[in-house]
Amino acid sequence: MKNLLIHVCCAHCAAYTVEHWQHQDYEAEGFWYNPNIHPFTEHQNRLESMKSLAKEINLPLTIAEGYDMPEYFRRVAGHEKERCDKCFELRLSKTAEIAREKGFDAFTTTLLISPHQKHDLIKVIGDKVAAEKGVTFLYADLRKRYSDSRHITKPMDLYRQQYCGCVYSEWERYTQERKIT
Ligand code: SF4
């Protein structure tokens, strides 16, 4: 059986994604690295939900040390229109690095289940960092299973976020249109 490191963005996207890859005969482990989630209290709420899910489904979960929020802003400042590119690259590149260091056969991300994310961009960046780091990126279009994933977590009564993660997306939550991109 091959082993797979899954970058987990939140419990609600992880629930079905983990099952999907386990059904493809992968031994799955979760990896939490989301310095794009602001403020810190929001980051902690989402992390606690992810920990609860991992316990519930017996998913080994590695949590990146610290809160790399300054690195997120170093990359995005002055490039706000491309902030999602920078954000995906930051998170996926770190996941690929850890996958390579720990000897995983491949890595992927729960972002691929969300219809709210820039799906095609995630694939492009996943392939790019895979080539750079020398570890395989596993792609699947899981967007049709988004509601199934939320159905799995519903009885667990976990914290549910109301915006993507960064302060820009929190601002946009209260507007009819995207202010920055
Ligand atoms: S909108 Fe979401 S994906 Fe884009 S930069 Fe913000 S947190 Fe990252």
Determine the atom of ligand 1 nearest the C-alpha atom of 83: 5
Mean pLDDT value of segment 157-175 = 95
Contact between residue 12 and residue 149 where contact means Cβ atoms under 8 Å apart: yes
**How does residue 177 score in pLDDT terms, banded at 50, 70 and 90?**
low
**How does residue 120 score in pLDDT terms, banded at 50, 70 and 90?**
very high
Rounded CA gap, 160 and 150, in Å?
Answer: 10
Phi, psi at 165, each rounded to 5°: 170, -55
pLDDT above 80 for 180: no
pLDDT digit string, tens, across residues 2-30 = 999 999 999 999 999 999 999 999 999 99
Q: Which two tokens stand for residue 78?
A: 């002055």
Rounded CA gap, 63 and 44, in Å?
Answer: 12
Measuring from atom 3 of ligand 1, which residue has the nearest CA?
84
Determine the atom of ligand 1 nearest the C-alpha atom of 168: 6
pLDDT above 70 for 181: no
Instruction: Output the CA 133–ligand 1 centroid distance in Å.
Output: 23
The set of protein residues with a Cβ atom below 6 angstroms from ligand 1 is: 36, 83-84, 87, 164-166, 168-169
Query: Parallel, antiparallel, or unpaired: how do β-strands 2-7 and 106-109 relate?
Result: parallel
Determine the atom of ligand 1 nearest the C-alpha atom of 164: 2
**How does residue 175 score in pLDDT terms, banded at 50, 70 and 90?**
confident
Domains of the chain: 2-172 (3.40.50.620)
